[in-house]
Amino acid sequence: MISADCHAGADLLDYRPYLAKEHHDEFDAWAATYVNPYQDLLADTADRNWNSERRLAELERDGIVAEVVFPNTIPPFFPSASLTAPAPTAREFAQRWAGLRAHNRWLADFCAAAPGRRAGVFQILLNDVDEAVREIHRAVGAGLGGGLLLPGTPPGSGLPELYSTAYDPIWAACAELGVPVNHHAGSASPPLGDEPAARAVFMVETTWFSHRALWHLVFGGAFRRHPGLRLVLTEQGSGWIPGVLDMLDYYHGRLVAAGTKASTAEAKFGAGLGASMGKRPSQVWHENCWVGASFMRPHEVPLRDRIGIDKIMWGSDYPHDEGTHPYSREGLRIAYAGLPREEVAAMVGGNAARVYGFDLERLAPLAAKVGPTVAELAEPLGEPPADATSPAFAKGGSVRVW
């Protein structure tokens, strides 16, 4: 089992040694007054984010031998976790760049503490493309093989949209270095305010805002110009993919056809898009894209052939409360029991090993000790664990929608 969606980060003050010295005084002043907004980062379990030995032990008890590591804790100079932090002002950019570089340096050391078992996802900002490219090369050179965490460009951010050719140097660098571009749920939503309803609206809209990266890069022609580019959409569900690909294929075909027609309104609308977009979106998906399907739900499983069995990477979302830990085996049983062994093996580890460069032969001895057996995962789950907190075990979660 390889989790394609885990999270980690340093304790706040532990980022200081990873900051350039010129930022130490301003970091001390910032940290002295900073109030962490997240209860889980103040609890006794917060050290799961940075305590390497505890983390390895808990993941092994859960059957997991390797992980893709997204950020979780607060980097220096950020008001909240970097995945959900609002777009910075011009004044804040320099400080936040310093904070993300500190996180990337810390993450390289954290991954090195468990050789072959962690693929660290490094962070950039999009406001300075040249600086982003330099950080990509530096992070990969430091051993971070998890690839780039792509920030969102939510409405009001002031940044070019993701379809812009302004980001071509970023796509080119990732394709050249052989690391994926990851887009995680929660990283592209606009600020919604503090009213209670905002939380409900965020839950409804956040995955949609994250899905947008797919059609932005497809229609923007990023994969045509950079055929080696790989995109991973993580913790966004997977059941939406077949329908969205059908929709994107429809618009792609309509725009291509419009370009060959007479001077009509639609022909003008589609002018030049046929050649610039490249292949059909569904073809791009099957050649260049994957989904980090954190605790895939049973109703999504019948769609696996349409999504692509070789495109699905399971994740536990450790150490989040909504993750499947410590019941990842049970989470897999509720979704995957009864499926062919080779399909389960691909979705729970083989695909992630291929995308993120894990060595399955190196991991095999540990998997033989701590991983679930084929027979165990083939056994349907009856009642879910009473104290499970993951939506994977929500009432009705075992109902299959065909």
Domain residue ranges in the chain: 2-393
- The percent of residues in the chain predicted with pLDDT above 90, rounded, is 81
Is residue 283 within 8 A of residue 309, CB to CB? The reply is: no
Map tokens 């002018």 to a residue: 271
pLDDT of 329 higher than 90: yes
pLDDT band at residue 29 using 50, 70 and 90 as cut-offs: very high
pLDDT of 118 higher than 50: yes
Residue 396 and residue 292: Cα distance in Å, rounded? Answer: 22
Q: For the segment 70-94, what is each residue's pLDDT rounded down to a tens digit?
A: 999 999 999 998 888 877 887 789 9
- Secondary structure, 3-state, 161-196: CCCCHHHHHHHHHHHHHCCCEEEECCCCCCCCCCCH
pLDDT of residue 263: 66
φ, ψ of residue 248 to 5 degrees: the values are -65, -40
Q: Higher model confidence: residue 275 or residue 68?
A: 68
Rounded to 5, what percent of the chain is helix, strand, coil? 50, 10, 40
pLDDT of residue 155: 86
Give one DSSP letter per residue of 95-120, joined into a string: HHHHHHHHHHHHHHHHHHTSTTTEEE
Judging by DSSP bridges, how do beta strands 122-123 and 118-120 pair with one another? unpaired
Angle in degrees, 0-180, between the axes of helices 241-258 and 196-219, rounded to the nearest 10: 50
pTM of the predicted structure, to 2 decimals: 0.95
Backbone torsion region of residue 395, taken as left when φ is above 0, otherwise alpha when ψ lies between -120 and 50, otherwise beta: beta
| Closest to 164 measured CA to CA, from 253, 276, 249 | 276
As to burial, measured by CB atoms within 10 angstroms (0-12 exposed, 13-18 middle, 19+ buried), residue 54 is: middle
Does the 2-393 domain belong in CATH 3.30.70.20? no
